[in-house]
Copies of this chain bind each other. A is one copy, B any other.
Amino acid sequence: MMTTAVSGINVLTDGCVTSPNGYSAGGVHCGIRRKKLDLGWIFSATPASSAGVYTTNRFQAAPLSITKESIAVEQKLQAVLVNSGVANACTGEQGLIDARWMRSAFARLLGIKEHLAGVASTGLIGPELPVSKIEKGLIKFGEPESHGADLFETAIQTTDTSQKRAAVQFEADGKKITVGGAAKGSGMIHPNMATMLGFITTDADVSGQDLQKALREAVNRSFNMITVDGDSSTNDMVLIMANGKAGNSPLTEEHPDWETFTQALEKICTMLARQIARDGEGAARLIETTVTGAATEEAAGKVAKAVISSNLVKTAVFGTDPNWGRIVCAVGYSGEPVEPEKISVKLGHIPLFKNGVPLPFDEIEGIAYLNQETVSIFVDLGQGEAEATAWGCDLTYDYIKINASYRT
């Protein structure tokens, strides 16, 4: 089952949110969407330490407020309910009433305390939550064919074309610890959260407070480093649950395995984030931009995001055009005090630009490189030691097609 080993962290082939001990998941069709599954859930056998990271959009959707309320009580969740099709965003007071109802109906069904349930929604902004449909969907949760991470991953999709899942394992205190995850997100994806939901589960024993810190850091280096179209949405949220079933002594910053845990968490978040970027609306290619030689990690991140967000870079990659001019142009307007004469750019292994001056290169080789499914752009700023990586996708005819007719 185990493959790529990264410093004691093993990626599980086909791992998912139910890979860690003590979690189940599922999804049903409740009728918000025409045919696709549209209501999913994750359940932990016992209450789990929890933490969340939320959109920075000023229009924060109702389910985010309600989930925050839940976690605030004792930094724990036992279950999460997610619907797709309707975002319950920009719905005013009624939106809060509906999200609260959703939480309470779900908690009642499971027989758990209300504040141990979280809720999430994704889909069209504006319409009110179709509560009667969700009510009908909840009844189906008992049926055996409603169970499985696979169904959960499907139920949370909107314009996604693929399921997003990952899991890794490592050891702490001689116990095997697993971290799993699921995510959705395709359009409206941009740094600082987007229409993007991420759910991480682990059987590690970690306090809610430590979990919050570790999650924030992992999200900053993964989900916050992807962009599809620059639009940060109202509904983005990444939640983590840690139920302690692995039996390790609680992981804290003092624990010798703390760093392995945070690395495992970052690994899961990065794996999911890359899957989201690759599935960007209409995308044909994943673009990975690594910026090195920056004065600070923040500066490196800002430059990497500027490149990955450029519509001109995105269309050049779609057109397999090794147009480094658009890359350096984006570096130049990133807002960071870069120094042109110190900047170098590579496309994969091909040097295009060195210390502010273009290099001769084999155009055919450049085009061939861009024809791959994953395109790596390397930018060195020549100013320091810090680095960061951001992920995005090319901009294609299909992006226009999907978004010029989303509602119809």
A25 at the interface (CB under 8 A from B): no
Complex interface bits, A318-352 against B, C-beta within 8 A gives 1, otherwise 0: 11010111101111110001111100000000000
The complex places the Cα of A397 from the Cα of B318 at a distance, in Å, of 13
Of residues 289 to 344 in A, which have CB atoms within 8 Å of B's CB atoms?
309-312, 315-316, 318-319, 321, 323-326, 328-333, 337-341
B residues within 8 A CB of A338?
58
Once the chains bind, are B229 and A311 in contact (CB under 8 Å)? yes
**Given the interface contacts A59-B329, A59-B340, A400-B396, does A407 sit within 8 Å of B229 by beta carbon?**
no
Chain B, residue nearest A127 (CB): B358
Once the chains bind, are A315 and B231 in contact (CB under 8 Å)? no
Once the chains bind, are B357 and A59 in contact (CB under 8 Å)? no
Once the chains bind, are B404 and A316 in contact (CB under 8 Å)? yes
B residues within 8 A CB of A310?
229-231
Once the chains bind, are B230 and A321 in contact (CB under 8 Å)? no
Once the chains bind, are B59 and A188 in contact (CB under 8 Å)? no
Once the chains bind, are B311 and A403 in contact (CB under 8 Å)? yes
Please list the residues of chain A having a beta carbon within 8 angstroms of any beta carbon in chain B. 56-59, 87, 89-92, 124-126, 187-188, 190, 192, 229-234, 309-312, 315-316, 318-319, 321, 323-326, 328-333, 337-341, 353, 356-358, 395-397, 399-401, 403-408
Listed by A's residue number, 17 A-B pairs whose Cβ atoms lie within 8 Å are A56-B333, A57-B333, A58-B331, A89-B325, A90-B328, A124-B325, A125-B329, A126-B358, A230-B311, A231-B310, A231-B329, A231-B330, A232-B333, A315-B404, A319-B408, A397-B400, A400-B400
